[in-house]
Chains A and B, each alone.
Chain A
């Protein structure tokens, strides 16, 4: 696929061109800049970016599958970015989120891309932002991002998504208590999945308390109950997503989040592009490997 075919294919929503564009951007290919510069900014602005996060085993992939069904019933074209962790030892990854979504495999308006974190912490991969834009530009809305199974501090999704649903399930125990100072504070929707299991009521009550606390501080956190394996509660969840999106767009929160996310992503890339230059400076700064690293860094950046 040459450059022109690729750019033409992207415009024509050709599945191969979309997939190849994502790979090239993820691999840092020189063509990335051309690809990213060719995207449809107005589509990107209009698209909803929906984050699905939560601890391992809460049912994120199963719920995502049902959410896709819900949006497809309204004929919306959907993008899904499903992220799994890379092995810290081999750098490889087992990407298995697709297993739960295979019923959509022959639907050309459900574009699923599995991605590995490739060493990035925070629950996303470095190319997640660019992949969202490529999918949104190809007419996908929403673009759903399913993060890796998270603990307390993988909060990058909050930055990238317009609306974030934190999926929890009964039986995960004290982990949820421990999340109180993390994702629970910032998620837009707290989803109590596996709501037919023992302990769901208690969990829902706890989550209502968290949501009330957030609303007292001017937030708009909502609680939803689902049984993702049977699709129960998914319609209500999608209504909640739509209601929050409307509130955020009308109240200016949507734009504020997007601008903030944009600036932080620019910062990320600036640091990434600066990295080789800085490493070179460090290597040139002498053979002395003692002394305080922070003071050295300040010295290297003097006159920057």
Chain B
């Protein structure tokens, strides 16, 4: 059971108009196989829709996938939408076709980790694990 007693809930979303969700689905399945409960919202969602779903599902992390080049606009918009719903504590991770020169800007906008093509699934899952660990710790302290 992936060596963990607590079940982590995460949400995988695809903001924007890009309809290519093979990567998002591969990741959601890999998370399932690593013992996570992964909620998938499907393609072409707005940042607000993804944030609202993340709040209703009480997830400990949100993963975003973008292959369209609109990540600089969309990923920070999800972080912002979460904050507006009082859920700024939920960490946001991103991945997709993202040029190296954008990585800093995304991290500065509050995206915890950003993964580009060639990253192993194990590495991404470890990042989700860490993000969820931290979120759960914060959750039980309050």
Q: Are B49 and A106 in contact (CB under 8 A)?
A: yes
Q: Are A102 and B38 in contact, with the CB atoms below 8 A?
A: no
Q: Write the B40-59 contact mask toward A (1 if CB under 8 angstroms, else 0).
A: 11100100110011011110
Whether the pair B58, A20 counts as a contact (CB closer than 8 A) is yes
Q: A1-33 CB contact bits vs B (8 Å, 1 = yes)?
A: 110000000000001101110110001000000
Number of interface residues of B (CB under 8 A): 33
User: A100 to chain B: closest CB distance in Å?
Assistant: 8
User: Does A269 touch B at the CB level, under 8 Å?
Assistant: no
| Interface residue SS majority, chain A | mixed
CB of A92 closer than 8 Å to a CB of B? yes
Q: How far is the CB of B125 from chain A (nearest CB, A)?
A: 10
Residue B106, interface by CB 8 Å:
no
A250 interface hit (Cβ, 8 Å): no
Work out how many contacts link A and B, with CB atoms closer than 8 A.
Answer: 98
Mask for A99-140, Cβ within 8 A of B = 1, else 0?
100100110000111101010000000000000000000000
B79 lies within 8 A of chain A by Cβ: no
* Cβ–Cβ < 8 Å partners of B41 in chain A: 98-99, 102, 105
Q: Is the interface of B mostly helix, strand, loop or mixed?
A: mixed
* Min distance, Cβ B3 to any Cβ of chain A, angstroms: 10
Which of B26-34, B92-100, B115-123 lies at the interface with chain A?
B26-34
Within 8 A of B (CB), among A186-204: none
User: Closest Cβ of chain A: how far from B65's Cβ, in Å?
Assistant: 14
- Tell me if A242 is interfacial: C-beta within 8 Å of chain B: no
Interface string of A66-99 (1 = CB under 8 A from B): 0000000000000000000011011111111011
The one of A16, A22, A96, A106 in contact with B86, judged by C-beta atoms closer than 8 angstroms, is A16
Find out whether the CB atom of B56 lies under 8 angstroms from the CB atom of A92.
no
Rounded to whole angstroms, the CA-CA distance of A146 and B85 in the bound complex is: 27
Residue ID in chain B nearest A111 by CB atoms: B56
For A89, the chain B residues whose CB sits under 8 A away are 33
Q: Given the interface contacts A19-B56, A114-B57, does A94 sit within 8 Å of B29 by beta carbon?
A: yes
| Contact of A99 with B40 in the complex, beta carbons under 8 Å | yes
Once the chains are docked, how many angstroms separate the CA of A113 from the CA of B11? 12
* B9 close to chain A: CB less than 8 A: yes
Q: Is there contact, CB below 8 Å, between A91 and B35?
A: yes
CB closest residue in chain B, given A89: B33
Q: Which residues of A contact B (CB under 8 A)?
A: 1-2, 15-16, 18-20, 22-23, 27, 86-87, 89-96, 98-99, 102, 105-106, 111-114, 116, 118
Q: List 6 A-B contacts (CB under 8 A).
A: A15-B56, A16-B85, A90-B35, A92-B36, A112-B56, A118-B7
8 other contacts beyond A16-B58, A113-B57, with CB at 8 A cut-off?
A19-B57, A93-B38, A94-B32, A95-B37, A95-B40, A98-B40, A99-B42, A118-B7
